[in-house]
Amino acid sequence: MNPVVLGVDLGSRNTGFGVLQEEGERFRHLSSGRIRAGSRRPLEARLRQIYDALVGLIQDHQPQALALEEIFLAANVHSAFILGQVRGVVLLAAAQAGVPIFYYPALVVKKAVVGYGQATKAQVQLMVEQLLGVKTDCQHAADALAVGLCHFFHHRGPKI
Amino acid sequence: MNPVVLGVDLGSRNTGFGVLQEEGERFRHLSSGRIRAGSRRPLEARLRQIYDALVGLIQDHQPQALALEEIFLAANVHSAFILGQVRGVVLLAAAQAGVPIFYYPALVVKKAVVGYGQATKAQVQLMVEQLLGVKTDCQHAADALAVGLCHFFHHRGPKI
């Protein structure tokens, strides 16, 4: 079985996911999209939806790694608190399934995928689509696939 | 069955819990303590421990409500992010078990228990111990019992 990675792009409204499999020098796109938790329902209902979706993705694809972008904590303490809650249930789902978690700073992800740490989101999406030969349906899915690709670039060869 | 409330005092190292049951004009202390997640292990392992402990407490005591202190988000964005992750798994455990969640600002908790919004932590602990006729083994447990008591004071009578 070739290694599979699940990339996740955290968000309180939309959490992107991307599942990739390494195949020799190439990568196969298995699945991607976003968990649309919205913003109208109580936070606990949204957290449950995100958790359930993650549990389902892990069961379906049995990834050997979960890759996340290391969040840049800007000055906004309120969004850090909300995003932390989403991150909590994502980490829980991975830990319960025994899937190791890897973190990559945004700059490292961009450099890995586009070759340039200051690349725009549109450039990242374009490169992800070219590398995988698929159209991504949203920025969240593209960002999740990008961090998944970044993980593979950093774990080429026998170790994953 | 008299109503049972599970009070929780969130913390990344120590999460306090307190389980109370209303009995007429009094409150019965069923259980309290802290989940000592420490700070050395990976965050996901600590989140899992906190989640598992909460799931166990909910199963054992079947509370009709989970009461939390509404966190005051100070300037420290990093601690908000860490605390957010703990809060995420606590809310998830409650949501999965169908337990409604109630939030109370610290000032409201202190006012309910001590009668004075600017009360110190030591005063809160003392009043909790007097009201319940128990010795609490740590501040985290006392804070969790305090928010549980606050919930009962705000939901006296038929509604909980």
* CATH number (domain holding residue B20): 3.30.420.10
Q: B8 or B26: which carries more pLDDT confidence?
A: B8
Whether A98 is in a domain gets the answer yes
- Rounded Cα gap, residues B4 and B128, in angstroms: 16
Rounded to a whole number of angstroms, the distance from the CA of A132 to the nearest CA of chain B is 30
A19 phi and psi angles, rounded to 5 deg: -115, 125
Whether A136 is in a domain gets the answer yes
Contact between B127 and B112 under an 8 Å Cβ cutoff? The reply is: no
Whether B60 is in a domain gets the answer yes
**Pairing state of beta strands A65-70 and A101-105?**
parallel
**Pairing state of beta strands A14-23 and A26-36?**
antiparallel
Rounded to a whole number of angstroms, the distance from the CA of B30 to the nearest CA of chain A is 26
Above 50 in pLDDT, residue B160? no
Candidates A45, A84, A96; nearest CB to B84:
A84
Distances (CA, A) of B102 to A42, B5, B43, B67, B152: 12, 10, 26, 5, 11
Chain B residues whose CB is inside 8 A of the A45 CB are 95
Q: What is the pLDDT of residue B110?
A: 95
Residue B17 one-letter amino acid: F
Whether B97 is in a domain gets the answer yes
A140 phi and psi angles, rounded to 5 deg: -65, -40
The per-residue b/e assignment along A25-59, b for 16 or more CB within 10 angstroms, e otherwise, is eebebbebbbbebeeeeebbebbbbbbebbbebbe
Q: What is the pLDDT of residue B75?
A: 66
Rounded to a whole number of angstroms, the distance from the CA of B106 to the nearest CA of chain A is 17
Q: CB B77 to CB A73 under 8 A?
A: yes
Q: CB B76 to CB A77 under 8 A?
A: yes
Candidates B47, B77, B78; nearest CB to A91:
B47
Containing H/E element for B17? strand B14-23
Q: CB A48 to CB B85 under 8 A?
A: no
Quote the tokens at residue B127: 């009043």
Name the residue of chain B whose CA is nearest to A70's CA: B81
Count of the separate structural domains present in chain A:
1
Above 70 in pLDDT, residue B157? no
Q: CB A73 to CB B83 under 8 A?
A: no
Q: What is the pLDDT of residue B151?
A: 96
Whether B160 is in a domain gets the answer no
Cβ-based contacts under 8 A for chains A and B:
94
The stretch A68-77 carries a mean pLDDT of 80
The stretch A49-64 carries a mean pLDDT of 97
Contact between A95 and B43 under an 8 Å Cβ cutoff? The reply is: no
Q: CB B84 to CB A83 under 8 A?
A: yes
Q: CB A81 to CB B80 under 8 A?
A: yes
Per the structure, the complete domain to which residue B75 belongs is given by: 4-154
Q: B13 or A34: which carries more pLDDT confidence?
A: A34
Above 90 in pLDDT, residue B137? no
Whether A144 is in a domain gets the answer yes
Q: A159 or A117: which carries more pLDDT confidence?
A: A117
Candidates A73, A78, A96; nearest CB to B73:
A78
Above 50 in pLDDT, residue B45? yes
The stretch B6-13 carries a mean pLDDT of 92
Whether A38 is in a domain gets the answer yes
Of the candidates B91, B34, B40, B35, the residue with the CA atom closest to the CA atom of residue B66 = B91
B25-44 residue pLDDT tens: 889 999 999 999 888 899 99
Above 60 in pLDDT, residue A97? yes
Whether B20 is in a domain gets the answer yes
* pTM for this prediction: 0.89
Query: Which of B45-54, B65-74, B91-100 is predicted with the least confidence, judged by mean pLDDT?
Result: B65-74
Burial bucket for residue B92 (CB in 10 Å: 0-12, 13-18, 19+): buried
ipTM: 0.85
- CB atoms under 10 Å from CB of B66, counted, come to 28
Above 60 in pLDDT, residue B159? no
- Rounded Cα gap, residues B64 and B132, in angstroms: 19
Give the three-class secondary structure for B16: strand
Chain B residues whose CB is inside 8 A of the A8 CB are none
The stretch B38-62 carries a mean pLDDT of 94
The stretch B4-15 carries a mean pLDDT of 93
